[in-house]
Chains A and B, each alone.
Chain A
Amino acid sequence: MSRPTTDAGSTRSHSPPHESSLYHVFVAFGFAGAEVGVILGRPVVAAVGLSLFGWSVAELLGEVSLADASYAGRRLAVVAGLYAVVAGSLLWVVQPTGDTLGVRGLAFAVAALALFARAGYDTLRTTAAVVSPRQ
């Protein structure tokens, strides 16, 4: 049969063939929500959509072994950091010019905070597990 591959996300990843998580569904839903919220100026929808998208992407990276699956907190923190940069650009650079795009920065900021919070929780939980491993 076909030769082995090391491509991320292939059937030869650590997940069993044909069986996966629901993250790919939430990547799609999150992206759609984020797009609608940002373009149409609905910060609530945008914030939730961005959070869902960022979270799902971070988890998928771990699931397909593109990132260390043991450190969910770090992956989330990286995504949150990227959101924070975008939020900062929109809120402090664009908004003072009076452009309505700046308002969208709020959604990125909220999403970044949510992901940072979750990353912190995951990190604490991982640390606790290392300190007192279950038998």
Chain B
Amino acid sequence: MTAVMGALLLGVFLWLSRLENWELVGSGRASGTAGERTDGEEYTGAKPSGVIRWLTTVDHKDIGILYGVYATGMFVWAGLAAVVMRTELITPASDLVPASFYNALLTTHGVAMLLLFGTPILAAFGNYLLPLIIGADDMAFPRINAIAFWLLPMGTVFVFAGFLPVDGLLPAQTAWTMYPPLSSGIGAGTQGNVGVDLMLLGLHLTGLSATMGAINFIVTIFTERDESVTWANLDIFSWTMLVQSGQILFAFPLLGSAMVLLLMDRNFGTTFYAVEGGGPILWQHLFWFWGHPEVYILILPAMGIVSLLLPRFSGRELFGYNFVVYSTLAIGVLSFGVWAHHMFASGLDPRLRASFMAVTLAIAVPSAVKTFNWITTLWNGRLRLTAPMLFCIGFLSNFVIGGVTGVFLASIPVDIVLHDTYYVVGHFHYFLMGGLVFAVFAGIYYWFPLFTGRWYQPRLAKAHFWATLVGTNVTFFAMILLGYGGMPRRYASYLPQFATLHQAATLGAFFITVGQLFFLWNVVQSWFEGDPVESDDPWGLRRFDMYTAEWTLLNEQRRDALTDGGQPAADATVSTGGDDATPVNDNGDTERDDADDTRGDVDSSEGGA
């Protein structure tokens, strides 16, 4: 491995030494010898084509797309790991994959979903949309933005390196929590393999990436806003991205430090997490000081997307904008005061446990404020049940179930009974799959016309929604019941009395899988062959005075196409927007969609509620 890595890096290093003017590479005019341009051409600002474009880009939209594609790949990988695990759990015995491989899948699923899918997919939305929404030309530090992205693929290679067919290399089996002494690698039966070291290094890189991205978001929002965008009218998505970035800034460096200490324990003989040193509980404190804010790091921008979208398909302003912003800030602060509720069963001082229980119950208040605001926004609204709206409503219902089950876990006596059972797994998957992922799908469908200039297929999108909603609830509600029954988490085999519920959970997982196949097919097919978007207001938002700045990009792209010699065909028409561009009927639906249901997903029959 050393030889391969060394040869690879040496090759890159030598290539680097031959090219002295990198600006030429970006424009596809690298001579390899010059220190100046050989053709005398001036820059036009046009993007180079092919792979070079994606390697050299510092455009926030391109980097947003890169993040999105990368995160989708990780979602597929981690999802496949989950499907294999659920298939293994159809029968009580461990008969499909070895238990050690099950443990490896368990680890990779958790790590990939949280750090390689969850955080990057939100960065994708933030990168693409935030500068457009707040009127910035780009992110404040475009190159740092690009570096932050390119750290991810390298980190990913390390995280999954254990799965490579290399002698002596094994995948990590520490679970995503990586608790010592299992992860310390010292002693028999522990995880002493270099695969764990590589995973830790990979996670360190992804954490660095997240931190660099967070700094960029914060600086962009503070310094690059258009003069017309004030704190009072800053959109709710940007607010949540700002608070999330602040959380990342405090949480991720701590995780990075904790992992460096663990690496030192493993490789340099230190005793930070050894019993004779800092003790294994130290890791739990450090890990959860990152781990619990991480939940809100993932869910806050998801809440922002839902808060942004719900009013647009309800025909009403977001109810209690100020309270939604204040509750976002409150969650951001309180999330750092609840970490020890993950450690109620670890022998923590009872007085400390009580204080953490109180703060944990308190954080439910701002979450409930948001929930009531969303419901009130829907109340008496003129609902348009489009795919983004359906996913928002799905988010809301799943979030309520996830929240209510979380309140039970906040109670010390209940938590001690349910600790390390499937109840906990069901609870947090209601948040992450039922919350984060639903909001992400809502955002993808809503901005799909902006990202691609084309429409998705609404029937497939709705099939995707229903399969995912049913699958999510069947899978994770079964897990909650399993937890009540006492089924411990992380096991590849179980007692026969749990078989029925496990089989139900697996059936639900298959439903989810089918739904994601609909999604992937829809996105890929529509990206290349979908109907072109013909207006800069595809959702008819001007009618409700909810038009936001990012949609003007559609006009700019059409102008560029015409300026570059493109044909003024139907899909290249410069639209001035407004109700003329997208006629809206009395139900608040676009009339175009009444005629053709394959466009725009604006369901006329269910529209005016």
Most chain A C-beta atoms within 10 Å of own C-beta, residue among B3, B57, B142, B226 = B142
A40 within 8 A of B: yes
Q: Are B143 and A33 in contact (CB under 8 A)?
A: no
A63 to B150 Cα, complex, angstroms:
18
A59 to B143 Cα, complex, angstroms:
12
Q: Are B223 and A9 in contact (CB under 8 A)?
A: no
Interface residue count for A (Cβ, 8 Å)? Answer: 52
Partner of B141, one of A10, A25, A40, A41: A10
Q: Are A7 and B147 in contact (CB under 8 A)?
A: no
Q: Are B12 and A26 in contact (CB under 8 A)?
A: yes
Q: Are A40 and B224 in contact (CB under 8 A)?
A: no
> DSSP class of B's interface residues: helix, strand, loop or mixed?
helix
A9 to B198 Cα, complex, angstroms:
31
Nearest neighbor of B25 in chain A, beta-carbon distance: A22
A52 within 8 A of B: yes
Partner of A35, one of B10, B58, B205: B205
Q: Are A36 and B158 in contact (CB under 8 A)?
A: yes
Q: Are A24 and B147 in contact (CB under 8 A)?
A: yes
- Set of chain B residues within 8 Å of A15, measured between Cβ atoms: 23
- Set of chain A residues within 8 Å of B197, measured between Cβ atoms: 39-40
One of B130-138, B172-180, B321-329 at the interface? B130-138
Residues A9 and B142 in contact in the complex (CB < 8 Å), given A2-B225, A23-B22, A33-B5: yes
A96 within 8 A of B: no
Q: Are B137 and A18 in contact (CB under 8 A)?
A: no
Partner of A32, one of B10, B13, B151, B268: B151
A37 to B153 Cα, complex, angstroms:
17
Q: Are B6 and A19 in contact (CB under 8 A)?
A: no
Binary interface profile of A, 92-109, with partner B (CB < 8 Å = 1, else 0)?
000000011100000000
Interface residue count for B (Cβ, 8 Å)? Answer: 60
Most chain B C-beta atoms within 10 Å of own C-beta, residue among A8, A22, A64 = A22
A63 to B278 Cα, complex, angstroms:
45
> DSSP class of A's interface residues: helix, strand, loop or mixed?
helix
B154 within 8 A of A: yes
A55 within 8 A of B: yes
B553 within 8 A of A: no
Partner of A9, one of B45, B143, B158, B201: B143
A48 within 8 A of B: yes
Q: Are B227 and A20 in contact (CB under 8 A)?
A: no
Binary interface profile of A, 1-35, with partner B (CB < 8 Å = 1, else 0)?
11101011111100111111111111111111101
Q: In the complex, which residues 110-152 of chain B have their Cβ closer than 8 Å to any Cβ of chain A? A: 135-138, 140-144, 146-147, 150-151
Q: Are A35 and B141 in contact (CB under 8 A)?
A: no
B43 within 8 A of A: yes
Binary interface profile of B, 216-228, with partner A (CB < 8 Å = 1, else 0)?
0001000111110
A87 within 8 A of B: no
Distance in angstroms from B431 CB to nearest chain A CB is 31
Q: Can you list 10 A-B contacts (CB < 8 A)?
A: A1-B137, A2-B136, A9-B144, A18-B58, A19-B27, A24-B147, A32-B155, A48-B9, A48-B10, A48-B13
- 6 A-B pairs besides A1-B135, A7-B223 with CB distance below 8 A are A21-B22, A36-B5, A36-B198, A49-B9, A60-B143, A100-B267
